[in-house]
Amino acid sequence: MKNTVIFDLDGTITDPAAGITRSINHALVELGHPAHPEADLQKYIGPHLNITFSELMGTSDEDTLARAIELYRERYIPVGYKENRLYDRMREVLFRLCADGSSLCIATTKRQDIAQSVLDFLGIDTFFTQVHGCDLHRTKPDLLRDILSDASLSVQPMVMIGDRDTDFDAATQVGMPSIAVRWGYGTSDELALATALARSPDDLPELIERTAQPMHRLAR
């Protein structure tokens, strides 16, 4: 069946840990804070950057947070995005979904142009009909509503696929089912918020068929 499948990017399609954690540490060190072990920073894969730096630096000062994000991107944009790794079997799954007639979209907290750079670098950009990014001023429910407002996409059964609570909460807010992926960075409590759980990428095509639902109205 043709479905509209909305994917999160980091921790769902790609493993971005090296680029994100190293770029966070670059910003912290430049601002006089100690670097953290990369494993300790993996919990920040998914949230908005202003939330990440607010917690790590213990500040809500907007100018300080803006400077931290600028320094993060100083490393991430030329270097960090190329440290993304496509999860094993993901390319084959994306190909199969497209071959079966589904429309694939991205909804990520990344800035849209940066997300597009990741897809281009990994050679998977042609699989996706639309790429939506939050940056700092929009939320994932906003992105899902944008996709729902496209009649060519919302006419098909829809599902959100991700690895963090923000993905599943966003889907719930707009009345959409969701699939959690076990290979990402969500905790067990976060994954339990989804409608269904995929243990490997090869589980996705069947789970999508079982989980995607018609969206009869645009959720407000």
Distance, in Å, from the CA atom of 1 to the CA atom of 127, rounded to the nearest integer, reads 17
DSSP state of 213: B
Domains and CATH numbers, the chain: 4-15+85-211 (3.40.50.1000), 17-83 (1.10.150.240)
Averaged pLDDT, 4-27: 97
Is the per-residue pLDDT at 3 higher than 90?
yes
Q: Which amino acid is at 123?
A: G
Q: Mind listing the pLDDT tens digit for each residue in 131-163?
A: 999 877 899 999 999 999 999 999 999 999 999
Query: Which residues have C-beta within 8 Å of that of residue 80, sequence separation ≥ 6?
Result: 18, 19, 20, 22, 23
Please compute, for residue 35, the number of CA atoms within 13 A of its CA located in the half-sphere on the CB side: 12
Q: Residue 141: left (phi > 0), alpha (psi -120 to 50), or beta?
A: alpha
Is the per-residue pLDDT at 218 higher than 50?
no
> Could you tell me the strand order of the sheet in which 4-7 lies?
128-133, 103-108, 4-7, 158-162, 178-181, 196-198
pLDDT at 216: 64
184-187 contacts, C-beta under 8 A, 24 or more apart: 184/10, 184/11, 184/12, 185/10, 185/11, 185/17, 185/42, 185/43, 185/45, 185/46, 186/11, 186/46, 186/162
Residues designated catalytic: 8
What is the model's pTM?
0.93
Is the per-residue pLDDT at 219 higher than 70?
no
- The helix (run of H) or strand (run of E) holding residue 108 is strand 103-108
Q: Mind listing the pLDDT tens digit for each residue in 158-207?
A: 999 999 999 999 999 999 999 999 999 999 999 999 999 999 999 999 99
Q: Mind listing the pLDDT tens digit for each residue in 89-137?
A: 999 999 999 999 999 999 999 999 999 999 999 999 999 999 999 877 8
